[in-house]
Structure formats: structure tokens, C-alpha cells
């Protein structure tokens, strides 16, 4: 892939899941990367794995939901690299639950991590990108942000916010040499609750491999698309129907088995929490 070798990136949520795979793809393409997460043991293991590949990889234990964590991440990355060419806002929390049963702390944690943290971290990084006159921001959205997923309401709301903010930010930054892309996958196979409980999404909805999401992130750095939707099915017509006829969109979502699956996952999460 041309154009990104030798660049300097900051990646949040790098210790597991999609983030871990994105880190590997970045290093494979010759990108130097600061990998950030709360789990330092997992970060150190990943840095050890990737450290012999050539590019500079260094782990930073931070919580991007906090001001101190964001300041540490940007400050350390600038001290190490001298510049930040790429920011990938990947860190996120998702909980399957009935909204009226969720406590405020859980809701606040998701909003802080999924929505406020990317916005505020991006604001800090833009101080440097604007001075450089270049940069690429890749945000991880979700198809749940295109159509709210029952029992995943807070997550869906935060991802909807990420996607609309990404679109607005792209319009603001396009003349400053800074690109903004958002990646919107459907359910990701083998990760999150699907790995935890060993179940699959309804066949009519399907899943995408985490590796495909990781490759789409790195591809977006090079190509700067506004939005990338990842699904095994042609979902754009369904999204168009939902935009015009939301009630029909909700009926279609239910008919595909999504609501039944979400209810099942919610009960499984509750049972696990009560053990």
C-alpha cells in the first residue's frame, strides 16, 4: 500500500479485538504506532510481538475517557515521534442490556469512552495536524449507529454520534489537508459477545471477520473515503428504506431476527453478571 509507510499513528483500544488486528496491519504496512489501552500486560505482549517487524511500536497504558489519559497519550506520542500523522479512534464499550435497568455509571462510562473520548482526543491531536497541514483520522462506527439496535441503545446512540460528527468534521477539515473516515461494520464474528457466548448473528444479517475490519481501517488511511460500510449483505437499500420509513425499518430489523438475538444476549449477559 503506497503513501503510509513511515507514517506515525496513534491507535486506541489496541489491546484486544479489532484494535489488536489494526496494529498488526499498520506495522505490516510500515507504520510506526503508539498502541494505547488500559490493559498494559496485553499491550506489552503485542508490542513485543510487533517490535521486531521494523516500525517503532510502543505501548501506552492510558484511559482515553479521562483528561489525564488523553494528555498523556498525545504528549508521549509527540515526544516519541515528533508528529502524529494518523489517529484511529477505536476504543469503545458495549453492553447488551435493557436501558431501564442500566445504572447511570454504566451509561456514563459508555458515553465517555465511545463518544466524548474520540471527540476530545481528536481535538488535542488536531492542534498538531493543523500545524503540519496533513493528517488522517479514522473513527470506528457501527451499523448499530445507522439503525438503533434494541438492548444496545447506549452503544447505538454513541455510534450514531460518532458517524454524524465524523461527517461534519470531514467537511471542516477538507481544505486543511486532513482527512476523516468512518468505518461502519455490522456484527463482527469471533469478537465481543459472539466469542464470549459462542453464538452467531442471525443468518439473514450475517457477520464480517475482524480481519476485514482491520484491513478496511488501514485502507481508509490511504484512500480517505468518507464512509465504509462492511457487511456480507447489500445493506444500503435497507438503510435507505429506514431513512424514509423508520417504522418499516424497525419491522424489517425484527423480521431478520435481530431483536430476538439481542434479547437473548441481554439475558445471557444478565445471567453472567449474577453468577
- How many alpha carbons fall within 13 Å on the CB side of residue 172? 10
Distances in whole angstroms, Cα of residue 145 to Cα of each of 39, 141, 163, 177: 27, 7, 7, 27
> Is 155 tagged catalytic?
yes
236 CB neighbour count, 10 Å cutoff: 11
Please enumerate in sequence order all residues whose Cβ is within 8 A of that of 94, keeping only pairs 6 or more positions apart, or say none. Answer: 110, 152, 155, 192
**Angle, CA of 16, 20 and 26, to the nearest 5°:** 165
**Angle, CA of 26, 123 and 83, to the nearest 5°:** 45
- Comparing CA positions, the residue from 221, 147, 241 lying closest to residue 178 is 221
Which 3 state secondary structure label does DSSP give 61?
strand
Cα first-last separation, the chain: 48
Q: Which DSSP symbol is given to 3? A: S
Return d(Cα 203, Cα 53) in angstroms, integer.
38
Q: Find the farthest-apart pair of alpha carbons in the chain and give their distance in angstroms, rounded.
A: 54
Return d(Cα 62, Cα 13) in angstroms, integer.
10
Q: Which of 8, 151, 155, 187 is catalytic?
A: 155
Q: Please say whether the beta carbons of 26 and 6 come within 8 A.
A: no
Which 3 state secondary structure label does DSSP give 60?
strand
Please list the active-site residues: 155
Amino acid at each position: 500500500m503506497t503513501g503510509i509507510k513511515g507514517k506515525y499513528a496513534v491507535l486506541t483500544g489496541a489491546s484486544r479485538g479489532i484494535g489488536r488486528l489494526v496494529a498488526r496491519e499498520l506495522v505490516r504496512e510500515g507504520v510506526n504506532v503508539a498502541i494505547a489501552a488500559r490493559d498494559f500486560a496485553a499491550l506489552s505482549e503485542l508490542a513485543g510481538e510487533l517490535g521486531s517487524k521494523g516500525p517503532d511500536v510502543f505501548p501506552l497504558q492510558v484511559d482515553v475517557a479521562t483528561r489525564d489519559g488523553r494528555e498523556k497519550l498525545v504528549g508521549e506520542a509527540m515526544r516519541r515521534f515528533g508528529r502524529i500523522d494518523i489517529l484511529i479512534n477505536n476504543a469503545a464499550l458495549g453492553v447488551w442490556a435493557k436501558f431501564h435497568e442500566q445504572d447511570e455509571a454504566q451509561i456514563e462510562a459508555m458515553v465517555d469512552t465511545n463518544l466524548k473520548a474520540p471527540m476530545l482526543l481528536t481535538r488535542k491531536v488536531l492542534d498538531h495536524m493543523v500545524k503540519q497541514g496533513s493528517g488522517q483520522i479514522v473513527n470506528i462506527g457501527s451499523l448499530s449507529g445507522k439503525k438503533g439496535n434494541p438492548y444496545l441503545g447506549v452503544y447505538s446512540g454513541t455510534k450514531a454520534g460518532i458517524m454524524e460528527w465524523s461527517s461534519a468534521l470531514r467537511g471542516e477539515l477538507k481544505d486543511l489537508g486532513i482527512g476523516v473516515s468512518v468505518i461502519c461494520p455490522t456484527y463482527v464474528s469471533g469478537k465481543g459477545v459472539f466469542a464470549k457466548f459462542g453464538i452467531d448473528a442471525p443468518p439473514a444479517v450475517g457477520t464480517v471477520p475482524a480481519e476485514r475490519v482491520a484491513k478496511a481501517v488501514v485502507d481508509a488511511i490511504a484512500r480517505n473515503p468518507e464512509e465504509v460500510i462492511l457487511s456480507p449483505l447489500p445493506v444500503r437499500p435497507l438503510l435507505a428504506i429506514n431513512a424514509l420509513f423508520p417504522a418499516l425499518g424497525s419491522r424489517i430489523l425484527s423480521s431478520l431476527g435481530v431483536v430476538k438475538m439481542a434479547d437473548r444476549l441481554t439475558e445471557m449477559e444478565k445471567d453472567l453478571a449474577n453468577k
